[in-house]
Each structure stands twice: as C-alpha cells, then as structure tokens.
C-alpha cells in the first residue's frame, strides 16, 4: 500500500475531527469516512446506471407515461377546434390564444368563438382581424369582447364629434332673407 498525501481544506478537517469519536485516531476516522462516501457514491452510480441502461420495465413505464401525456395534450387540442366558418382566421386565432392572459379553459375557448362571431355579424370580418392583431401585439389582453370594443369606439367618437346645432340657446334665432334682402 502506497501512501498518498493530498492537501485538504483545514476548515473541513476541523469539522470532521469534531465528529471523530475519542477511541479512533484521526487517520482511521478519515479513512473510514472516505470509504463510506466512496461506497455511497458507487451505489448512487450503480442505481443511475441501472436506471439508464438496465431497467427495461422502468423505461417502458416512462415511455407509457409520456404517451399518456401526449394523448391528453392531443385531446385538449381536439376539443379546441376552430369552427369551419372561422377556419380561414385560424393563424390569427391561434396566435392570439397563445399570447392571451387569463383562463385558457375549454369554456373560455367557446366564449371567445362566440365573441368572434358577434364581431363578424355586427361589424365585419376586417374589424375582427384588426382586433385579433391588436390583441396579439398587446399580449396582455384576456380576451376579445364586443362590448369592450363598442365602449372604446364610443370614447373615441366622443372626442371626434362636431358640436350639435340643435342645442342652441333659446334666445338664438335663425334669421333668413329672401333674394331681395327682405326679412322673411
């Protein structure tokens, strides 16, 4: 047996020697701890090797679990099918659905499809496309709602309106003249 003298951290040695029983020498105790750590590491590596290379049943279970997860994901995607009347907007709808905040449940999906149809029925398909694109760009919308769109339009139109002429003061009168310049 050859003697190897490694350089060890003094703080680590001090911590180890605090655990040393009084009936063992420091050399014996250090050798014992090193051997225990070595055996534990070998066992750990043996389990890893068994998991990686040898345990076929565990590999099959792992694959089955993965297949089940994929089936669940496919099932969710199948339930969230875009109706045929909105199929030409699929990329916009999918992109909006990916970035939208809030619930992404099946019920939320159905409600959004209903709102998309309301936009097309009341306004136009172009307005729906514009709203979907705006939602994608914002990335913080929880969904599209016709009522929210209409409220926003009212706010914008309130500032763009010309003053109404019907709201004249009672003392104001419209004076009209004929071709000769006489008061009518």
Q: What is the pLDDT of residue 37?
A: 85
Q: Which of 52, 56, 50, 1 lies closest to 27, judged by CA?
A: 1
Per-10-residue mean pLDDT of the chain, 184 residues long, equals 80 86 87 86 69 53 57 60 90 92 90 93 92 91 91 84 64 77 74
For residue 17, list its beta bridge partners. Answer: none
Is the overall model pTM greater than 0.75, yes or no? no
Domain locations along the chain:
10-54, 79-158
**156-176 burial, b if ≥16 CB within 10 A, otherwise e?**
eeeeeeeeeeeeeeeeeeeee
DSSP 179: T
**Within the chain, where are the H helices?**
10-19, 26-49, 56-79, 90-99, 106-122, 125-138, 146-160
**Can you tell me the distance from the alpha carbon of 129 to that of 172, in angstroms, rounded to the nearest whole number?**
48
DSSP 177: B
Q: What is the pLDDT of residue 129?
A: 93
* 13, 34, 183 from 17: Cα distances, Å: 6, 13, 119
| Collapsed DSSP state (helix, strand, coil) of residue 41 | helix
| Collapsed DSSP state (helix, strand, coil) of residue 115 | helix
């Amino acid at each position: 047996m050859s003697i190897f003298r490694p350089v060890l951290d003094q703080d680590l040695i001090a911590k180890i020697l605090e655990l040393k029983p009084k009936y063992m020498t420091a050399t014996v105790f250090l050798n014992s701890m090193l051997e225990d750590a070595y055996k534990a590491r070998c066992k750990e590596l043996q389990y890893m090797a068994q998991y990686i290379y040898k345990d076929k049943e565990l590999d099959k279970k792992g694959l089955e679990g993965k297949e089940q997860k994929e089936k669940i994901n496919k099932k969710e995607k199948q339930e969230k099918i875009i109706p045929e009347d909105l199929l030409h907007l699929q990329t916009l709808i999918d992109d909006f659905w990916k970035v939208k905040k809030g619930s992404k449940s099946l019920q939320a999906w159905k409600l959004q499809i209903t709102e998309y149809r309301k936009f097309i029925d009341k306004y136009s398909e172009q307005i729906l496309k514009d709203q979907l694109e705006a939602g994608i760009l914002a990335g913080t919308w929880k969904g599209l709602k016709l009522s929210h769109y209409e409220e926003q339009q009212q706010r914008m139109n309130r500032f763009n309106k010309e003053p109404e002429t019907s709201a004249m003061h009672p003392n104001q009168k419209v004076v009209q003249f004929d071709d000769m310049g006489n008061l009518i």
